[in-house]
Amino acid sequence: MKKAVLLLCAIAGATMLNAQIPTCMRDSSILVSGAIVSPWYWTPDSPYIQTKPACINELYTQSVTFNVPDTITGLPGVPIPIPINSISIGTSGAITNLPAGLTYTCDPPNCVFNKNTLGCVLIYGTPTGPADTADLSIQVIISSSAFPFPIGPLAFPSVIAPTAHYYIVVKPTGQCAVGANDLSGQIASVKNIPNPFGDQTVINVESMISGEFQFQVFNVTGQRIHNQTVNLTTGTNQFTFEAGDLPNGAYYFTLGNTEGMVSRMMVISR
C-alpha cells in the first residue's frame, strides 16, 4: 500500500512539474520571410536585441524558432552547399552562458529538427541575477546525407557570422512589468544613428502620439547612467545623446512612459 501511495505521489509530482513548463511558441512568420531563426540575432549592422529582457526573481520565457532548410551553405571548411537531413541540439547543456536560473526545453522533446520544419527551443525559468547581458551560444549538430558522420557541434549564431550574438538582458527586479516592451500603439520605430558611435549619436523616433517620455541609458550590469525627459510630437523626432567620458562597450537605452517602454542596444567604439 505504501509503495502504491509513493508511486502516485511521484506521478503527481512529475505531472505538476511538467505543467509548470510553458509552451514553446513557434513564429510561423519566418516561413514567409525566409529567416532561419526568430527572434533575429544581434549584429553590428542590426544592433538590436530582439529577445525579451529578463528580470531577477520574475518568471521568464523566450521561444526561439528555427526554420530548418533542406540545404545549407557557408559552413566552415565546406565550400559548397550540402543537403540537410536535420539539425539538433543536446537536450541539456547545449546552450551556454544562460543567465543563472534559466534552462531550456525543445519541441519536439528530443531537440531534433528535421529539414523543412520549424523547430522550437524554449528558454525559461526565474533569473537569480546578477543584472547583466548574457551572450548565448547554441551548440548545433547537422545531419547530412553527404557525410557519414554528424557535423558539429557548431556554435550558433557565430557559425553564421563571427559578429553575430544572441543576447538576453537581465535587469533588476521590477523592470520587466507587463507591457514594458509593448508601445506599438505609440512608437512606430526608434533607433540611434550612427551605431556604433564615438562621442555622440542621434536618437530617431517615429511617434504616433505627442507626449512626455523618459529616455534612460543603462550599462550591461543594469546601472542607470543617464536619464532625461523628452517631449515627442506626432511624426519624426530627433535628439542627441552625448557619450561624454563613458568607456567603450555595449549599452542599452529605453524610451518609455507610464504605459511601457521600448529598449534598444547601442555600442560606443572610439
| Alpha-helix runs per DSSP H in the chain | 2-19, 30-33
pLDDT of residue 179: 43
pLDDT of residue 15: 40
CA 68 – CA 25 distance, rounded (Å): 16
- Write the single-letter amino acid at 70: D
- Write the single-letter amino acid at 124: Y
pLDDT of residue 175: 77
Is residue 261 a contact partner of residue 181, using CB atoms and an 8 Å limit?
A: yes
pLDDT of residue 6: 40
pLDDT of residue 66: 94
pLDDT of residue 220: 58
Complete domains list, the chain, with CATH: 23-171 (2.60.40), 187-268 (2.60.40.1930)
pLDDT of residue 32: 67
Which grid coordinates belong to 92?
541539456
Alpha-carbon distances of 127 from 39, 90, 132, rounded to whole Å: 20, 22, 11
Is residue 120 a contact partner of residue 24, using CB atoms and an 8 Å limit?
A: yes
Per-residue pLDDT of the chain (270 residues; tens, 9 = 90+): 444 444 444 444 444 344 467 889 898 877 866 778 888 888 887 677 888 889 999 889 999 999 999 988 767 677 788 899 999 999 999 999 999 999 999 999 999 999 999 999 999 999 998 999 999 999 999 999 988 999 989 999 988 788 889 999 999 887 775 444 457 678 888 889 998 899 999 999 999 889 999 998 877 555 778 999 999 999 999 999 999 999 988 787 888 887 777 877 788 888
pLDDT of residue 188: 83
pLDDT of residue 19: 44
Give the phi and the psi of residue 5 in degrees, each rounded to 5: -65, -45
> Which of helix, strand or coil describes residue 45?
coil
